[in-house]
């Protein structure tokens, strides 16, 4: 008879995502997540700088704003899920920075989403 822990992590013979993330090697996932975190925080800073200082962004950012919003949403969602799954494993000094960064990205994304689509609705 299979024990309960075997049935929790198996879904039709395939490993569950939680099991996958918990058994993933630290070096393989952390470096990519750190790059994603820095990229998202940099994008948030760039878009907030555009509003505060009234600078003109390159056409790549302006013409494809919807794609950037979608990419920011997906990146923030990935980082949030990673934070929830690995919260106890994060270094205690990095927890507040990581939490603040992800919360800032989520709030910035919501603000940009609201402004962009409100502006799109009024212009059409």
46 lies in some domain: yes
111 lies in some domain: yes
5 lies in some domain: no
CA distance 117 to 66: 9
14 lies in some domain: no
More confident site: 81 or 34 = 81
6 lies in some domain: no
Is pLDDT of 107 > 80?
Answer: yes
Binned at pLDDT 50, 70 and 90, residue 63 comes out as confident
Each residue of 20-29: b (16+ CB within 10 Å) or e? Answer: eeeeeeeeee
Contact 76, 106 (CB under 8 A): yes
Whether pTM exceeds 0.85: no
Contact 43, 72 (CB under 8 A): yes
7 lies in some domain: no
When divided into structural domains, the chain yields a total of 1
């Amino acid at each position: 008879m299979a024990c309960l822990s075997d049935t929790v992590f198996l879904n039709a013979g395939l490993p569950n995502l939680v099991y996958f993330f918990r058994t993933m090697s630290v070096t393989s996932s952390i470096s990519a997540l750190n790059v994603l975190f820095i990229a998202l925080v940099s994008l948030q800073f760039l878009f907030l700088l555009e509003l505060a200082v009234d600078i003109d962004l390159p056409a790549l950012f302006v013409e494809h704003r919807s794609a950037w919003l979608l990419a920011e949403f997906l990146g923030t969602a990935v980082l949030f899920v990673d934070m929830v799954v690995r919260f106890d494993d994060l270094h205690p000094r990095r927890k507040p920075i990581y939490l603040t960064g992800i919360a800032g990205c989520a709030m910035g994304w919501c603000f940009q989403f609201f402004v962009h689509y409100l502006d799109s609705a009024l212009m059409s």
